[in-house]
Amino acid sequence: MFKYKLTIEYDGTNFVGWQRQDNGLSIQQSIEKAIQKLSNEQVTVFGAGRTDAGVHAKGQVAHFEISKEMTIDNIRDGINQYLRPMPIVILNASKVNNNFHARFLAKQRIYQYSIINRRQPLTFQRHLSWVIYKKLDINKIIEAALYFEGNHDFNAFRSVDCQSTSSIKTIDYCSVINDQESIIINVAAKSFLHSQVRIITGTLVNVGEGKIQPSEIKKIIEMKDRDKAGVTAPAHGLYLKKIIY
């Protein structure tokens, strides 16, 4: 068997998420069908991050195995050919050894959340960013973001659907970049709780709105109460940016 690694970009707007489901078309299923058409083999594609419905990716990583060897160009271009016209693209492909696993060997996952802070509704980015009409205090958001870094019990920052047995996670960094009306939040960790980045983002927006003070983040984390944290930011502003191995 030959194993291949894929780096994938996609617009998740009209998909039920990465993982194959019965209630609609998933990213995983779409890629598996494209590979089957290319190779005449039924495969399972394993992804590094299970993005939810509506969530996008700039650098999702996945792997699959087939019984015959193909060139990297044929893998990349062939899958892309059969994915058209869906908004899913294989950016890169490479042959890897049999020990590689896209999910279990990932050392860090970097998620990015895009906010547009302006009074006007969005046009081009309405499915790609979260628009906040009230002027946000970016300095307070930057200050508050630092409280999320490190090893904490993030029980207050996971959804009721989270199936993780432990809510203790380590966030390597939580940084905020502001360029005029654009606010980008980057969060990196080895793994995340369900909706963790979206709840962190919603809480930071509440800070920017003046509803929560930056210093209160530490107390909210310590209280471990979901009701004390902010809103869950909408899925369409979230991107799986990069996987580090």
pLDDT, tens digit, for every residue of 196-220? 999 999 999 999 999 999 999 999 9
Per cent of the chain over pLDDT 70 is 100
Q: CA 242, CA 102: separation in Å to the nearest integer?
A: 12
Spatial CA neighbour of 176 closest among 218, 149, 143, 216? 143
Residue 67 pLDDT grade (very low, low, confident, very high; cuts 50, 70, 90): very high
Burial of 109 (0-12, 13-18, 19+ CB in 10 A): buried
pLDDT, position 18: 98
pLDDT, position 156: 97
pLDDT, position 40: 97
Report pTM: 0.95
Q: CA 28, CA 125: separation in Å to the nearest integer?
A: 24
pLDDT, position 15: 98
pLDDT tens, residue by residue, 50-59? 999 999 999 9
Residue 76 pLDDT grade (very low, low, confident, very high; cuts 50, 70, 90): very high
> What is the residue-averaged pLDDT of the chain?
97
**Span 140-153, average pLDDT:** 98
pLDDT, position 209: 98
Residue the block writes with tokens 């999320």: 148
User: What one-character-per-residue DSSP string does 43-101 give?
Assistant: ---EES---BTT-EEEEEEEEEEESS---HHHHHHHHHHHHTTSSEEEEEEEEE-TT--
pLDDT, position 6: 98
Q: Which domains does the chain possess?
A: 2-96 (3.30.70.580), 108-244 (3.30.70.660)
- The SS3 of residue 14 is coil
Pairing state of beta strands 46-47 and 238-244?
unpaired
Question: What residues contact residue 4 under an 8 Å CB cut-off, 6+ apart?
Answer: 63, 64, 65, 66, 70, 75, 93, 94, 95, 96
Residue 120 pLDDT grade (very low, low, confident, very high; cuts 50, 70, 90): very high
Q: At what angle do helices 138-145 and 196-208 cross, to 10 degrees?
A: 140
pLDDT, position 39: 97
**Span 215-244, average pLDDT:** 97
Residue 157 pLDDT grade (very low, low, confident, very high; cuts 50, 70, 90): very high
Question: What residues contact residue 19 under an 8 Å CB cut-off, 6+ apart?
Answer: 26, 28, 47, 50
Q: CA 119, CA 242: separation in Å to the nearest integer?
A: 31
The 10 Å Cβ neighbour count of residue 154 is 25
Catalytic residue list contains 225: no
Catalytic residue among 11, 22, 52, 161: 52
